[in-house]
Structure 1
Amino acid sequence: MAFQSRVAPGSPEFATNAAAIRALVQRLRALEARAEAASEASAARFEARGQITPRERLARLLDPGMPFLRLHSLAGYQVDTAEEEASIPGSSLIAGIGFVAGTRVMVWVDDSGIKAGAMGAMSLPVTQSIQAIALRQKLPLVHLVESAGANLMKYEVRHWAEGGRIFANLARASAAGIPSVAVLHGASTAGGAYMIGLSDYVIGVKKRGMAALAGAALVQAATGEAAEDRALGGSEMHAEVTGLVEYLAEDDAHGVALAREVIGRLDWNKSLAPRPARAYAPPIHDPAELPGVIPADPKTPYEAQEIVARIVDGSESTAFKPDYGRTTLCLHAAINGFACGLICNNGPIDPAGATKAAQFIQLSDQAETPLIFLHNTTGYFVGTEYERAGMIKHGSKMIQAVANARVAKIALHVGASYGAGNYGMAGYGFDPDFLFAWPNALTGVMGGAQAAGAMVSVMRQGAERKGAPVDEAALEGQREAIQKVFDRQADAFYTSGRCLDHGVIDPADTRRVLGFCLETIWEARNRRLQPNAFGAARM
């Protein structure tokens, strides 16, 4: 039976809620546009060099009219610089899942319009994240290469050490039977040269592509040799002498066209049986209403099924143990015809809710049903009553179940996601297949007010134990400072900037995003790979 919504789209409350969410979505789009504008400001230089911009390369690579799921669009936001107006999100790369020659692939574009594509503070986490997704979802990787590499002015040895994981991931993906295609549009030196060497197929652009362990300046500094970049590592040399380049392109556009051709020739879907056609009805309640469903005040509770009714087929779901552990909802439903289980919060998780969720997770695992977690919880209940009821034991059951479930897991922060409740709901540390956040989402160890209250209480008790006078004005100042720190870090824009999710999405796009992810997961679970002992070696 379809859920009967109590939300009134024409009400003042709905309008207030929608306005608050839309303001946050506008902030998201403005930040994404900031990165695009910063990159496109270099368009004249690209044209003078006979090149096309990174975003034009991406547009030519992707199949027209097909969906593209952007990932990590806020990466690096307020990380490289604390000055909000000067912070350019994206970490000098564009990543996402899209279609190339009819094949679903992971796309990685070096945004060389921003600082020549030099890696930012969060470039490594983004790269490793998309590589992990590509491996998990069995997606070929297409990398459009042109990068100044690591920013040596901000060198840290840990970045160099972590960078090795990118190369290991390329080798392991190749050995697993997942190919990578690199288009060498410009320079790729030092460690970046191994991005090319470890790709399975390399397309080099004439006169522009360049891969070398050291450019001319470094060679002269290190050895005294007066070399020339093209001789050291130009695409033509690698195509004729080293064999590093398989295909030579006349220009950027031709290089992208060759990448499309290579992907098409893989016939990647040849072993993928067609998915049985399943008729399904769209939600009765419009997904576009979602911004008005979420209260503008994050402290105001609301019914999670109001969200579910706007993302699942026919707005229909079947509740599992609805009268047991009421603040935790476990629902059977479908999205775009894909059966799924949903676990949602209507507040903190109590012992009964944790037990119910643990059983539901295990049953979903038994039936090979993907799980979707809609986070809106302050965590597990605390207090004498709940401790005596076994909150630790029952919460641990839920965490055990989610950590070991073999089915696909998609997490979405739609409101609060605090403490161990985040863990039980397949949070960041539990490596869900996909993890997205709404722009109003808040996440952290606990809310700012609670953290400040707890720490001020500890300070007051410490002073009292020592017999010292309690300076209430100073404690209130401490309370405000602590709350500010916690609240700032809970913000979805802050956490996404640090790659603690795969991206912030517009709530109105939720059904489309979840449907796309479920299709991607279905393909991965039904695709046969041809692994080998080693990655494809260059001969």
Structure 2
Amino acid sequence: GEAVTSSWFPSGQADEQPYATPVIRTKAKPSDPAYAKRKEHNEGLCGELQRRLSIVKQGGGGKYEELHRKRGKNLVRERIAKIVDAGSDTLEISALAGWEMYGGGIHSGGVICAIGVVGGRECMFIGTDATIKGGVNFPVGYKKWLRAQDIAQQNHLPCIYLIDGGGAKLDGQASGGKGKNPSGRDLSYEGVLPATFVEGGRQFFNQARMSALGIPQIAVVCGMCTAGGAYTPAMCDESIIVQGNGTVYLGGPPLVKAATGEDADEQSLGGAVMHTSKSGTCDHFAPDEDTALAMCREVVENLSGRMPRTSLQNCAAPEPPLYDEESILGVIPESTSIPYDIREVIARIVDGSRFHEFKAKYGPTMICGWAHIEGYPVGILGNNGMLFSEAAIKATHFVQICGKRGTPLVFLHNITGFIIGTTYEQGGITKDGAKMVNAISNVPVPKFSIVCGGSFGAGNYAMCGPAFEPRFTFLWPGAKISVMGGEQAAGVVAIVKQNALKRDGQQPMPPEMEAMLKKPIIDGIESKNSAWHSSAGAFDDGIIDPRSTRRVLAQ
């Protein structure tokens, strides 16, 4: 808070005051066999996460990378690393998008999106990877592009577009063609079908709107920028183009020849010299790529009119949690069906492990309270079981208070959904749940979601799932998201089938037949409700190591 006058203190200055906010005392014991088992399990999941990230960061690899480098080009992540401030981290968005889609090999959906610091200012990078199918657009990559623009607009981040790609995928199909690939995935509709191009205009609409809002738009043309994609640098506030490699045109030489019969020269049609001296489409000429990247830093260093970061009251000096970040792996169970106290997670991500809990004895399946993360005040909502009416009412009250105070909200998901049954419906569970959803939809503060365990059905909505416009949604490797668990879904289908047989006067299914009915349903849902599957489709902002949760939230 703001400093008060020294006249309140007879000595003329305020004494150091001890914190009254209590510390969460962990119950996790490293000597406990269950702790060791959980730690081993989660280390395996984190290892798998790192394995997948190491694969996608190679881009197209092999001969495609070799050809790329022969042209004097950097990989997209290398370009970002050369632009951001030395010694700073980047926060990549949906790095595992496209995993095992389109026949495989479309790492990160062919588009790299990341937040980095340039000249002390956070920026959103969006770059196409020319080592993957020549940098053409795939639906999941385009979904990432739009999501990155959405994040940039919400957070007032300048956008830096690193362009190096061939535009839309003209054959309209994945690399495996029609039918199914060896993994069994149907590839027939995984390309860009003819009518879907209409959605392509959204990126240009976003650019125009952000520029109008004073959010800088900057492009570095490192390679081809063809067809509709040519509007990306043309609609930016400032653009840089690399001599030799960079080209910008609505129709390349093959299309010009096919449409008009003209034999056009690529550089005369859309090269760096032409666009910076004749058409004026691009603003800055760069003799090589490294110079272009340095020029990009120069552009950012000279931006003005920045919307200042919101100043929060009650900021404190950052301090680490009492418990080592490694210990978080020992408190997360091996399965989302095993309950655990979400306070154990809170204790490992908040400053000093201190937590001012709200209504601690009321609605105990919803944990609400205030804390600080790297000095910033936050309100935290975490699940300790199903949502009952009391828990929903408590959460609604807490969210409304945070809205009045301007306190950002952090949601820690581990929820199977709302309690159901005649008694609870008569008690108003639907009405009370609706109040919670309404409050979360309208609270005027930044919201951040971390899916720590399960996030099922309406519980995902109530805990500010992606549909409720949190600033970010990140998943832990063991997280699961679906309308309900496989066993529950199969049970519902079996009951409906049995009731239908009864209405028709037929004999009920024997147990073995019911098991046969359930198995494909369970297998189907369980194979598609993992964090890996969600992130492959870019339904979230990425999977993070639980140990990095505090850092990611602070960033």
Indicate the TM-score class for this superposition, using the shorter chain for normalisation: over 0.9
Using the alignment, how far apart are the partners of 2:388 and 2:231 within structure 1? 51
Which structure 1 residue ranges, 5 or more long, are not aligned? 517-539
Question: 1:361 and 1:272, CA in 2 relative to 1: closer, same or farther beyond 3 A?
Answer: closer
Using the alignment, how far apart are the partners of 1:498 and 1:212 within structure 2? 31
TM-score, L = length of structure 1: 0.92
Q: Choose the corresponding residue for 2:360, options 322, 327, 349.
A: 322
Could you tell me which residue of structure 1 aligns to residue 110 of structure 2? 92
Deviation at 1:447, TM superposition (A): 0.7
Q: Choose the corresponding residue for 2:542, options 488, 491, 503.
A: 503
Report if aligned partners of 1:71, 1:502 keep a CA contact under 8 Å in 2: yes
Could you tell me which residue of structure 1 aligns to residue 141 of structure 2? 123
Per-residue CA shift, 1:395-440, capped at 9, x if unaligned?
A: 0000000011111100110001111111111001111111111011
Which fold has the larger relative contact order, with Cα–Cα distance below 8 Å and residues 6 or more apart in sequence?
1
Could you tell me which residue of structure 2 aligns to residue 524 of structure 1? none
Say whether residues 1:361 and 2:399 are aligned partners: yes
Using the alignment, how far apart are the partners of 1:272 and 1:401 within structure 2? 25
Per-residue CA shift, 1:203-238, capped at 9, x if unaligned?
A: 010111101000000111112211121111111111
Deviation at 1:279, TM superposition (A): 1.6
Q: Note the 1:387-426 alignment, pairs <5 A.
A: 387-426=425-464
Could you tell me which residue of structure 2 aligns to residue 44 of structure 1? 66
Using the alignment, how far apart are the partners of 2:360 and 2:245 within structure 1? 63
One-letter identity of the residue aligned with 2:551: R
Report if aligned partners of 1:118, 1:150 keep a CA contact under 8 Å in 2: yes
Using the alignment, how far apart are the partners of 2:339 and 2:257 within structure 1? 65
Deviation at 1:272, TM superposition (A): 5.7
Q: Choose the corresponding residue for 1:454, options 484, 492, 508.
A: 492
Say whether residues 1:17 and 2:38 are aligned partners: yes
Using the alignment, how far apart are the partners of 1:20 and 1:230 within structure 2? 55
SS in structure 2 of the partner of residue 302 of structure 1: coil
Q: Note the 1:254-265 alignment, pairs <5 A.
A: 254-265=291-302
Using the alignment, how far apart are the partners of 2:289 and 2:241 within structure 1? 9
Per-residue CA shift, 1:83-124, capped at 9, x if unaligned?
A: xxx344301121111111221100112111211111123011
Report if aligned partners of 1:25, 1:506 keep a CA contact under 8 Å in 2: yes
Question: 1:486 and 1:87, CA in 2 relative to 1: closer, same or farther beyond 3 A?
Answer: farther
Q: Note the 1:218-367 alignment, pairs <5 A.
A: 218-267=255-304, 278-367=316-405
Report if aligned partners of 2:247, 2:266 keep a CA contact under 8 Å in 1: yes
Using the alignment, how far apart are the partners of 1:289 and 1:351 within structure 2? 33
Q: Choose the corresponding residue for 2:132, options 99, 114, 118.
A: 114
Report if aligned partners of 1:149, 1:189 keep a CA contact under 8 Å in 2: yes
One-letter identity of the residue aligned with 2:125: V
Q: RMSD in angstroms over aligned alpha carbons?
A: 1.6
Question: 1:11 and 1:267, CA in 2 relative to 1: closer, same or farther beyond 3 A?
Answer: farther
Moved more, 40-49 or 484-493: 40-49
Question: 1:484 and 1:186, CA in 2 relative to 1: closer, same or farther beyond 3 A?
Answer: same
Using the alignment, how far apart are the partners of 1:106 and 1:446 within structure 2? 35
Report if aligned partners of 1:89, 1:497 keep a CA contact under 8 Å in 2: no
Using the alignment, how far apart are the partners of 1:273 and 1:293 within structure 2? 34
Q: Note the 1:135-284 alignment, pairs <5 A.
A: 135-154=153-172, 155-267=192-304, 278-284=316-322
Moved over 4 A (4+): 267-277
Using the alignment, how far apart are the partners of 2:367 and 2:446 within structure 1? 19
Using the alignment, how far apart are the partners of 1:130 and 1:54 within structure 2? 16
Using the alignment, how far apart are the partners of 2:492 and 2:311 within structure 1? 56
Using the alignment, how far apart are the partners of 2:540 and 2:211 within structure 1? 26
Report if aligned partners of 2:312, 2:377 keep a CA contact under 8 Å in 1: no
Could you tell me which residue of structure 2 aligns to residue 66 of structure 1? 88
Q: Choose the corresponding residue for 1:7, options 9, 17, 28.
A: 28
Using the alignment, how far apart are the partners of 1:113 and 1:290 within structure 2? 37
Could you tell me which residue of structure 2 aligns to residue 523 of structure 1? none
Using the alignment, how far apart are the partners of 1:316 and 1:268 within structure 2? 38
Report if aligned partners of 2:59, 2:129 keep a CA contact under 8 Å in 1: no
Using the alignment, how far apart are the partners of 2:158 and 2:40 within structure 1? 40
Deviation at 1:250, TM superposition (A): 0.7
Which structure 2 residue ranges, 5 or more long, are not aligned? 1-21, 173-191
Deviation at 1:268, TM superposition (A): 6.2
One-letter identity of the residue aligned with 2:52: L
Residue identity (%): 36
Using the alignment, how far apart are the partners of 1:416 and 1:270 within structure 2? 37
Question: 1:88 and 1:9, CA in 2 relative to 1: closer, same or farther beyond 3 A?
Answer: farther
SS in structure 2 of the partner of residue 186 of structure 1: strand
One-letter identity of the residue aligned with 1:180: Q
Count of aligned pairs between the two proteins: 512
